[in-house]
A and B are shown apart, each in its own frame.
Chain A
């Protein structure tokens, strides 16, 4: 039986997540990848309000393929999280607690996740038709001009991910 967690994530939900366990996420999450992160950083620097509430929410490093007319969502999956490492500590300090991506993070990101009791989930890269089946609704909430890199609010049901860095700072890639 795979554990299901619901957004918004509370501190209690995050604290109970253990590295290496697979969980299903249900609720609303937000996509943001390279270009959106770059813009979020500019907004933080200018002291502007974020385009969506960070508290309790999850950012999914993903840029989907276009949906066909009969689809809610095209193919979608995690991109390499390492490219967001330069931005993540700033955003975590600003209140972001949970991220979904693919692959290792820097020590700095890991320490910041631990210090702020956050969590980093890993999705399996390249199983994007499968992941797309978990997306039930999509709304572009910011940076529409970025196309696939726009920030989208996704309503997800049982999105499969693995706890890759938990709130204690333990990392799934250490166990290999």
Chain B
């Protein structure tokens, strides 16, 4: 059985937090560079600002956005791995604490949803664990800002609502989000499973690289159709009008109950931060 020491996990999480918040992912960069050519007026100016902002953030090693988010961490643990030196959750939270301190990232977490005292180190992280085959450990950190998170929605549709019901709810969600979600957005959608599993699928859908459609042609078609419909809303970059409201629509699905059609829509902003590492 392979052993992985928690110190390595802590160092990795810290590094991922800083990188995700300061360096835009190549797929997002390339997409903005492409769509800026298709816009004019305010929309073009906004997209130009986004590119310039990414350059400054990278050069100055400072956050792309002041909202450096709550740290959402996905861990895939190979079942042949043994974590040594302490608790995995403690190691991850220590990594978040260190990354947010050393990276001069904003501490945006309050300890209690009503008493709202800032924990001052951005912990705790929201951690999702999965046991997988092998002896590897994959860690993905998604620092999630709440401009877009607040505009996300979930609905328990019924089978009779069908694909039209799904499309209508997704479009409605994007329209309600409007400029608040910091468009051009990535739309993560989870369909099926149960209540909470649909939401986790939607969040995972945001982690997918752009231009990688769902492997199932039916769902790939729905993704393309929804993207087109969303980009016809004229919400545009920063909500100031234009052709580019979303960069991508990603759908993940799972088996569900005969009575159900759970649907979750999780929105990601124009930076859609996530970074991963394989240990």
Contacts and interface: CB of A to CB of B under 8 A. Distances in A.
B240 A147 contact: no
B68 A126 contact: no
Interface in B127-158: 145, 147, 150
B179 A68 contact: no
A13 B36 CA distance: 33
Interface stretch (A42-50, A51-59, A72-80, A110-118): A72-80
Contacts of B269: 125-126
A103 B236 CA distance: 12
Interface stretch (B70-78, B99-107, B254-262): B99-107
A125 B238 contact: yes
Interface centre among A20, A76, A124, A147 (most CB of B within 10 A): A124
A104 B178 contact: yes
B65 A77 contact: yes
B118 A82 contact: no
A162 B240 contact: yes
B210 to A, nearest CB: 17
Task: Give the interface residue-count category, chain B.
Answer: 35 or more
Contact of B179 (A62, A74, A75, A103): A103
B49 A127 contact: yes
B209 interface: no
Contact of B45 (A22, A75, A173): A22
B52 A75 contact: no
A148 B108 contact: yes
B229 to A, nearest CB: 15
A67 B54 CA distance: 17
B66 A75 contact: yes
A67 B64 CA distance: 13
Interface centre among A65, A79, A149 (most CB of B within 10 A): A65
Nearest to B270: A126
A35 B117 CA distance: 10
A66 B203 CA distance: 28
Interface centre among B106, B235, B236 (most CB of A within 10 A): B106
B56 interface: yes
Contacts of B174: none
Interface string B49-84: 110111011001011111110000000000000000
B107 A148 contact: yes
Nearest to B118: A147
Interface in A85-109: 102-104
Contacts of A129: 53-54, 56-57, 60, 62-64
Contacts of A169: none
Given A22-B45, A75-B57, A173 B178 contact: yes
A36 B199 CA distance: 32
Contact of B182 (A74, A104, A126): A126
B239 interface: yes
B213 interface: no
B16 interface: no
Interface string A146-159: 11110000000000
Interface of B: 42, 45-46, 49-50, 52-54, 56-57, 60, 62-68, 104-108, 116, 118, 120, 145, 147, 150, 178-180, 182, 234-241, 269-271
Interface of A: 20, 22, 35, 62-68, 71, 74-77, 79-80, 82, 102-104, 122, 124-130, 132-133, 146-149, 160, 162, 172-173, 175-176
